[in-house]
A and B are shown apart, each in its own frame.
Chain A
Amino acid sequence: GAVVSQHPSRVICKSGTSVKIECRSLDFQATTMFWYRQFPKKSLMLMATSNEGSKATYEQGVEKDKFLINHASLTLSTLTVTSAHPEDSSFYICSARGAGGVQETQYFGPGTRLLVL
């Protein structure tokens, strides 16, 4: 199947710093990428949907100024957690979907564990 990578896989940072997470589709062009967050023993929650070359669409309750998303190319989307706080500590997972539309499978990246001290 298609491969999606994330970098870094794990990051520990001090409160107040910003953290950038990269999501790459390695062998297909991802017209749409999704960013999810998962807290321990909870379900994945969609944070935002990004389409290449346009602004991301954020889910209700997700602060767009805090979670900056850039989808500059068909193979790369970035999520920047600005001024991170301990409550932002979570498992962040991206997924990518090709040009086939909603019926096309989403492929998930391996996730990034963020710990904010």
Chain B
Amino acid sequence: RKEVEQDPGPFNVPEGATVAFNCTYSNSASQSFFWYRQDCRKEPKLLMSVYSSGNEDGRFTAQLNRASQYISLLIRDSKLSDSATYLCVVIEGGGGNKLTFGTGTQLKVEL
């Protein structure tokens, strides 16, 4: 089983739609969680951290469910510029350095 699993998509949605991605992780000791965005042939860029209580940044809402070991990302009012691959990233606890990336979910926002 992969450490971090995501539905690869692609998710094709019309502009203005709301779309949600889920990510599951296998290590219950994982401590830190992030969503990164990666554009085609570019490096990943931090979109937002994910906190236990859930957090929102503009049109983006992230949630964490430790009991079920999944993380979600909700994008409201999607824009054409949101088209990218969204990577779920997990850091294990115990002072570990290692970022473990999911394979990413591809989003295509269309007119």
Q: Is the beta-carbon distance between B97 and A43 smaller than 8 angstroms?
A: no
CB distance from B73 to the nearest CB of A (A): 16
Of the 9-residue stretches B50-58, B62-70, B74-82, B100-108, which lies at the interface with chain A? B100-108
- A75 interface residue per 8 A CB criterion: no
**Which residues of chain B in 1-43 are interfacial with respect to chain A, using CB atoms and an 8 Å cutoff?**
4, 8, 32, 41-43
Supposing A43-B87, A44-B101 touch, asked if A111 and B95 sit within 8 A by C-beta, the answer is: no
**Cβ contact within 8 Å between A44 and B97:** no
The interface stretch among A62-70, A78-86, A99-107 is A99-107
A111→B99 contact, CB < 8 A: no
Q: Which single residue of chain A is at the shortest CB-CB distance from B46?
A: A105
Q: Which of A97, A102, A109 contacts B43 (CB 8 A)?
A: A109
| A107 CB to nearest B CB, Å | 8
A residues near B99, Cβ cutoff 8 Å? 34, 44, 46, 95, 106
Question: How distant is A34 from chain B, measured CB to nearest CB, in Å?
Answer: 7
* A49 adjacent to B97 (CB under 8 Å): yes
- Say whether B43 contacts A34, CB under 8 Å: no
Task: Report whether A44 and B44 are in contact in the complex, using a CB–CB cutoff of 8 Å.
Answer: yes
Residues of B within 8 A of A43 (CB): 4, 87, 101-104
Distance in Å: Cβ of B51 to nearest Cβ of chain A? 13
Most buried by B among A32, A108, A110: A108
Q: Which of B88-104 contact A (CB under 8 A)?
A: 91, 95-104
A residues less than 8 Å from B96 (CB atoms): 102
Residue of A nearest to B89 (CB): A44
Q: Closest B-chain residue to A49, C-beta based?
A: B97
- Please name the residue on chain B nearest to A40 by beta carbon: B41
Return chain A residues, CB-CB under 8 Å to B4.
43
- State the 9 A-B residue pairs at the shortest beta-carbon distance, nearest first: A108-B43, A43-B101, A43-B103, A44-B101, A111-B43, A110-B43, A93-B43, A49-B97, A108-B44
